[in-house]
Amino acid sequence: MFHHNPNISGGGWDDRYQVQYHTLFDLADLNQENVTIDAYLKDAAKLFQQHGVDAFRIDAMKHVTWGWEYCLANSIYSNGDSFLFGEWYQGNTSDPLFHDSYKFANKSGMALLDFPLNTAGIQFTTLTAVLETVEKRRHHRLQRLCENSEIPPTGSWWMVQIQPTKG
């Protein structure tokens, strides 16, 4: 009923097999391929749908067997109109499994929370607040340049040029 593999370790966070089949921080890890577990989870989703539920969120989606999630989505969609989405955490587009995440979202019928977009939004919001504060305090005109063509491993980078106000 459970996967009995070791914890994800070392570089395993970037390894497709470990991410799906190894244990996440010693948590119990249901084996969705087990016929009993598979039927139970799909029957539970069907029961929820019969009671009016029309959306499902799957937490830690990249840690569930991806092939089984496709199967779950098909089962849910065959029971009625529903919206499926999940959390597939990744910091930015340089994440080694980024390609897998957008391939999964495009083929599984499940939407993913967009963490790289969220991270960029937070960086931009923070940058904007800092620039506005500097502008108010120094009465300088700011020129803002956001460079998105290259994202280093530490995330997006920003360049700000401050010029004194003429006159």
- Work out the number of other CB atoms within 10 angstroms of the CB of residue 158: 15
Strands 141-147 and 83-86: unpaired
Is residue 32 a contact partner of residue 65, using CB atoms and an 8 Å limit?
yes
59 as an active site residue: the answer is yes
Catalytic residue among 26, 59, 81, 150: 59
Whether 69 is a known active-site residue: answer no
With H, G, I as helix, E, B as strand and everything else as coil, classify residue 152: coil
Here the tokens at position 112 are: 């993913």
Catalytic residue among 26, 33, 38, 87: 87
Q: Do 19 and 97 touch, CB atoms closer than 8 A?
A: yes
CA–CA distances in Å: residue 19 to residues 15, 65, 111: 6, 9, 19
Query: Any idea which residues carry the catalytic annotation?
Result: 59, 87
